A and B are shown apart, each in its own frame.
Chain A
Amino acid sequence: AQSVTQLGSHVSVSEGALVLLRCNYSSSVPPYLFWYVQYPNQGLQLLLKYTTGATLVKGINGFEAEFKKSETSFHLTKPSAHMSDAAEYFCAVRAGYSSASKIIFGSGTRLSIRP
């Protein structure tokens, strides 16, 4: 069975500081991994996804994530936080080779940015 764990329901960083949001997954087959961002009262927007190949994935808004199979992790980072990054972030995993396979979402991490 597949699962996703996001460590830390709330992360607070200063503007300009490194952002690190943690995600660990469990999957019996090679996974497809996704990070989404949600602004208040809006839907989820895809930040980036890992499929196969390069383990460092670059996304929108300066975010990137590194797939580490040995650690079953897919942590999201951004070198320098901006006030506009304040939002909720969701990690998701799909363990299956087709889009018909179920996607499992983590419980989310709320990112706050201190001026």
Chain B
Amino acid sequence: DGGITQSPKYLFRKEGQNVTLSCEQNLNHDAMYWYRQDPGQGLRLIYYSQIVNDFQKGDIAEGYSVSREKKESFPLTVTSAQKNPTAFYLCASTLEGPGSSPLHFGNGTRLTVT
């Protein structure tokens, strides 16, 4: 079945360490997104990529970095510069097309930094 795979599901890191979250999709979608979810705050866009080798900052990109070397993959690195990294991270993708194209989501990675 096609879908989006995020790994790992739970991730624990010490403060000051960089950490990379994986996102792979086999839906042949063009665009991929990273969102951060905190309780009561909905989803906030970190980065997005419409095509390979190109990506744009979202609303809260500071302290994060991404790459898009392959259509299927869009890893997110949470750097030590991110002041409050503990959160639930969601990867999503969509097919290029009309505005009615919905986002498809992975099952998320819960990152805890202590």
Binding site for B on A (CB under 8 A): 9, 32, 34, 36, 41-46, 49, 51, 90, 94, 96-103, 105-108
User: Contact: B99 with A101, CB < 8 Å?
Assistant: yes
- In the complex, whether B107 has a CB less than 8 A from a CB of chain A is yes
User: Contact: B98 with A90, CB < 8 Å?
Assistant: no
User: Contact: B105 with A45, CB < 8 Å?
Assistant: yes
Please indicate the chain A residues that have their CB under 8 angstroms from the CB of B88 in the complex: 41
A28 to B: closest C-beta gap in Å? 13
Count, A-B residue pairs, CB within 8 A: 67
User: Contact: B45 with A98, CB < 8 Å?
Assistant: no
Bound: A111/B36 CA distance, A = 21
Bound: A99/B50 CA distance, A = 10
Bound: A102/B100 CA distance, A = 12
Among A36, A46, A97, contact of B99 (Cβ-Cβ < 8 Å): A97
Residues of B in contact, count (CB < 8 Å): 29
User: Contact: B41 with A107, CB < 8 Å?
Assistant: yes
- In the complex, whether B101 has a CB less than 8 A from a CB of chain A is yes
Among A36, A49, A105, contact of B100 (Cβ-Cβ < 8 Å): A49
User: Contact: A102 with B45, CB < 8 Å?
Assistant: yes
- Given A90-B42, A107-B42, answer yes or no on A99-B90 (Cβ-Cβ < 8 Å): no
Q: Nearest CB to that of A95 among chain B residues?
A: B99
Please indicate the chain A residues that have their CB under 8 angstroms from the CB of B102 in the complex: 34, 46, 49
